[in-house]
Amino acid sequence: MIDNEKVSRKHCTIIYDTAKKTYFVVDHSTNGIFKMDGTRIDAQNGTELARGEEICIGNADNSFALL
């Protein structure tokens, strides 16, 4: 179940790069996006993530795998 209080209307942008087979995640929110190790996604420049990595949107209750 998604914790709606921590998720913004436009929380992030996720782009899949087919050539590199990676994701590029940009945070547009107040509450943030975090990798599973607790590292926050860079809101200014975004972060490149590998397939299979998990991200938490707002908090750990909202985790998603990038497949």
Q: How far apart are CA 15 and CA 24, in angstroms?
A: 5
Cβ-contact 50, 64 below 8 angstroms:
no
Structure tokens at 65: 């795998």
38-55 pLDDT per residue, tens? 999 998 899 999 999 999
* pLDDT above 70 as % of the chain: 96
Query: What does the DSSP 8-state code read for residue 36?
Result: T
Longest dimension (CA), the chain: 36
The pTM for the full model equals: 0.85
